[in-house]
Amino acid sequence: MLNLINLQQKPLTTSELRRTLPRGGVDVDAVLPTVTPVVTAIRDHGVSAALDYGEQFDHVRPESLQVPSTVIDQAVADLDPDLRAALEESIARVRAVHADQKPQPHTTELTAGGTVTEIFQPIARVGLYVPGGNAVYPSSVIMNVVPAQEAGVTSLVVASPPQADHNGWPHPTILAACGLLGVTEVWAIGGAQAVALMAYGDTNLEPVDMITGPGNIYVTAAKRLVRGVVGIDSEAGPTEIAILADDTADPVWVAYDLISQAEHDIMAASVLITPSATLAEAVNREVAARYRVTRNADRVAQALTGPQSGIVLVDDLNAAITVANAYAAEHLEIHTINARAVAAHITNAGAIFVGGFSPVPLGDYSAGSNHVLPTSGTARFSAGLSTHTFLRPVNLIEYDEPALKEISTTVITFADAEDLPAHGEAIRARFEDLA
């Protein structure tokens, strides 16, 4: 069912692997002509334009942009007790991990009286996007809100598409998650129009400084268009899983993990990297036998048989590690003997799931880690959402007179070398009568 890519006895150069490995992705440029007028109209006309486009695309117009607190409170009250317990447990675990991520200020003394202190300032106001497409994602509320809160962000808004089946408000489970997290500002707006409105605001509607959260290709295109006006976390592509496995792996477990990621989207990528032809055959057999158990079987089948998915057969475990690092998966599972030791050799992955009892669905919800991760190979140079995302390191430079005088000749020499004499004079003026 999965395409087989045989790389045995072949050179594993980076350039060759980038051409050979299965890779999906979306062409964001192709939808920019559609999204640009939406963003421009909302920049110029604000809420009215956003609601007009929302009605056009979502076929529903909420009573108001901002969801009333009574609606959020009712969503919490109506929440199934088991789901509430699951949400609260996941919130606690994610909060514990992200609280520990917050860095502490530190001071470096370069000389007596000369110090540089690094402090960390939270982003003032952030916009958190929660999609509402193929599934309901209260987990995305948790993964975006908690790190922002732990960073010290004091002003945040969650935007999620209005639902015709729920009186024009976002899905009640989304609202309930917001309520449990203490989020009071929720906008009933989705898609590119949500991104544009968060970026530009309107009269009596404060714009944000950063936008985070996953979305479809139109959301991604809008984030590209407003980047620079606001900060963004990333241009996320379709979700992906890679599993690095040897002949000790359980083919049933591997098969289900590949299937579970494929049910997100027909463009989701599921990739097995293994030196074991026996395991490759067994996993392919189990995938074909078991993918129909999910209610999303049609979606799974399209994802698993697409060019973005496949089984990569390599010579040995070292080659598998090389391939995994070149692929730079959003999620990388390791099902090998001494999995923790193998994980130490992984340099490129959004998140690494070590051993058979650490599957990706655990990370999607309740491991405590964040599930907003870099896709499409960008894990080679970028990181997932974390408390750090919402913090800006700022240097405090503090020198007294003797400390500045000690380094003054060095600064003046640099200024002269760069033909910027006023830089040097700004130093000399503190110690000489330039008049």
CATH code at 123? Answer: 3.40.50.1980
Structure tokens at 32: 């920019």
pLDDT for 58: 87
Q: Tell whether residue 70 is among the known ligand binding residues.
A: no
Structure tokens at 360: 């990706």
Q: Tell whether residue 256 is among the known ligand binding residues.
A: no
Q: Tell whether residue 264 is among the known ligand binding residues.
A: yes
CB 99 within 8 A of CB 391: no
Task: Kindly give, in sequence order, each residue whose CB lies less than 8 Å from that of residue 130, ignoring residues fewer than 6 positions away.
Answer: 137, 140, 141, 144, 158, 159, 160, 170, 174, 213
Q: How far is it, in rounded angstroms, from Cα 105 to Cα 107?
A: 7
CB 335 within 8 A of CB 248: yes
Q: Which domain holds residue 167?
A: 28-111+118-232
> pTM, whole model, 2 decimals?
0.93
**Is residue 166 annotated as part of the catalytic site, yes or no?**
no
Q: Tell whether residue 216 is among the known ligand binding residues.
A: yes
User: Rounded to the nearest 5 degrees, what angle is found at the Cα of 197, between the Cα atoms of 238 and 186?
Assistant: 80
Q: Tell whether residue 34 is among the known ligand binding residues.
A: no
Does residue 392 lie within any of the structural domains?
no
3-state secondary structure of 385: coil
pLDDT for 140: 94
102, burial (CB in 10 Å: exposed 0-12, middle 13-18, buried 19+): middle
CB 208 within 8 A of CB 125: yes
Residues in the chain: 435
pLDDT for 214: 87
* pLDDT tens column, 258-308: 999 999 889 999 999 999 999 999 999 999 999 998 888 999 999 999 999
Q: Where are the alpha helices (DSSP H) in 201-311?
A: 217-226, 251-262, 277-290, 297-305
DSSP 264: T
Identify whether residues 336 and 351 lie together within a single domain.
yes
Pairing of strands 114-122, 186-188: unpaired
**Is residue 330 annotated as part of the catalytic site, yes or no?**
yes
Identify whether residues 84 and 211 lie together within a single domain.
yes
pLDDT for 23: 86
Identify whether residues 404 and 264 lie together within a single domain.
no
CB 350 within 8 A of CB 379: yes
Identify whether residues 49 and 16 lie together within a single domain.
no
pLDDT for 434: 76
Structure tokens at 120: 């960390």
Name the active-site residue from 330, 333, 335, 371.
Answer: 330
Identify whether residues 89 and 218 lie together within a single domain.
yes
- Overall domain count for the chain: 3
Chain-centre distance of CA 319, in angstroms? 28
Q: How far is it, in rounded angstroms, from Cα 184 to Cα 188?
A: 13
Name the active-site residue from 331, 333, 335, 371.
Answer: 331
Identify whether residues 241 and 224 lie together within a single domain.
no
pLDDT for 331: 98
Q: How far is it, in rounded angstroms, from Cα 55 to Cα 239?
A: 28
Structure tokens at 234: 């990333």
Among 186, 212, 232, residue at a domain's last position: 232
| Ranges of residues in the chain whose predicted pLDDT is under 70 | 25, 133-134, 435
DSSP 157: E
Q: How far is it, in rounded angstroms, from Cα 332 to Cα 317?
A: 15
Q: How far is it, in rounded angstroms, from Cα 34 to Cα 416?
A: 52
pLDDT for 134: 60
